[in-house]
């Protein structure tokens, strides 16, 4: 119990740190954007040719927030390695149910192995698709030409163009990831069904436990002896004596005697 409490405490601490770091990174980068805009606007007041957003300014802002981002990634990796997950809804996770059932199967079938391989491919494929969909966003954000137009078009137009470019790719990445995990859950449920049927077959194949001949002989002998003594007791009037004593005892208990 103490070990489980410690694991829960460690998980809570890591998840709290992860949330704080992620929120801190978002807030920090939002502040950097505002600071860059205010600084660029002030510089443009004295020099109309000054640019608000450049690749150097964006790089400096990213480097300032990089330690927080790295810390958040490290905490996430540690949580994944330690297997920290939602302890309150463990059995709502098909993967955990699958592992519990499969642990009772001595030899996984070919269907179970195929489903497990399919799950791995879907897992890595989903994350690979999500990562690939993020590449155009990174290329867009690191291209200074996309932000240099703020001089002619204004900041609002540049931000709108950025959102219109980033949003579709983000939705594509999330969609790929969602489809991959939905298919993975279906594959996990199939593996659970295969494991259940395999476990049932293994139970049916197990031979019924047979008692040794010595035990059966002793039981039969005791049964025969018991029947003989019951018959002897009835013949010598013992049953009537027991019945009489029982009636007398009951009447005395209730005060009738």
pLDDT tens, per residue, the chain with 257 residues: 344 555 556 667 777 888 888 888 888 888 888 888 778 777 777 877 777 767 777 778 888 888 888 888 888 888 777 766 555 444 566 777 777 777 777 778 888 888 889 999 999 999 999 999 999 988 888 887 776 665 555 666 777 788 888 888 988 988 998 999 899 888 888 888 888 887 666 655 555 555 567 888 888 888 888 888 777 777 777 767 777 776 676 666 655 54
Dig out the tokens for 170 from the structure: 């983000």
**SS3 (DSSP) at 6:** helix
Closest residue by Cα to residue 53 from 136, 140, 134: 140
The total number of residues shown for the chain amounts to: 257
- Residue 157: partners with Cβ closer than 8 Å, 6 or more residues away: 149, 150
Label residue 246 exposed, middle or buried (CB < 10 Å: 0-12, 13-18, 19+).
Answer: exposed
Which residue ranges make up each domain of the chain?
1-84, 89-207
Question: Are residues 14 and 78 in contact, defined by beta-carbon separation less than 8 angstroms?
Answer: yes
- Residue 179: partners with Cβ closer than 8 Å, 6 or more residues away: 126
Residue 169's region, left for phi above 0, alpha for psi from -120 to 50, else beta, is alpha
Q: State the Cα–Cα distance between residues 101 and 91, nearest whole angstrom.
A: 12
The reported pTM is 0.47
Q: Which pLDDT score, from 0 to 100, does residue 206 have?
A: 55
Residue 7's φ and ψ, nearest 5 degrees, are: -65, -40
Q: Which pLDDT score, from 0 to 100, does residue 3 have?
A: 44
Closest residue by Cα to residue 188 from 248, 83, 105, 102: 102
Q: State the Cα–Cα distance between residues 137 and 96, nearest whole angstrom.
A: 35
E strand or H helix at 47: none
Q: Which pLDDT score, from 0 to 100, does residue 121 have?
A: 92
Where helices occur in the chain by DSSP H, the ranges are 2-46, 55-82, 94-102, 110-142, 145-148, 150-153, 155-205, 213-235, 238-253
Q: State the Cα–Cα distance between residues 247 and 170, nearest whole angstrom.
A: 89
Question: Are residues 202 and 112 in contact, defined by beta-carbon separation less than 8 angstroms?
Answer: no
């Amino acid at each position: 119990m103490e070990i489980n409490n410690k694991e829960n405490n460690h998980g809570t601490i890591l998840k709290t740190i992860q949330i704080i770091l992620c929120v801190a990174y978002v807030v920090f980068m939002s502040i950097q954007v505002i600071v860059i805009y205010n600084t660029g606007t002030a510089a443009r007041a004295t020099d109309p040719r000054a640019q608000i957003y450049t690749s150097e300014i964006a790089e400096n802002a990213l480097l300032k927030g990089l330690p927080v981002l790295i810390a958040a990634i490290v905490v996430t990796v540690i949580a994944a390695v330690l297997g920290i997950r939602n302890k309150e809804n463990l059995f709502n996770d098909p993967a955990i149910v699958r592992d519990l059932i499969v642990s009772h199967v001595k030899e996984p079938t070919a269907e179970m192995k195929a489903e497990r391989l399919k799950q791995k491919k879907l897992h890595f494929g989903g994350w690979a698709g999500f990562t690939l969909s993020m590449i155009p966003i990174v290329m867009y954000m690191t291209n200074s030409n996309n932000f240099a137009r703020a001089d002619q078009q204004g900041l609002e137009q540049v931000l709108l163009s950025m959102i219109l470019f980033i949003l579709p790719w983000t939705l594509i990445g999330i969609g790929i990831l969602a489809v991959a995990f939905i298919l993975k859950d279906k594959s996990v449920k199939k593996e659970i069904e295969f494991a259940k049927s395999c476990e049932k077959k293994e139970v049916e194949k197990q031979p019924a436990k047979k008692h040794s001949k010595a035990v059966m002989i002793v039981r039969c002998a005791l049964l025969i002896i018991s029947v003989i003594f019951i018959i002897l007791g009835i013949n010598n009037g013992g049953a009537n004596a027991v019945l009489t004593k029982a009636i007398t005892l009951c009447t005395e208990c209730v005060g009738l005697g």
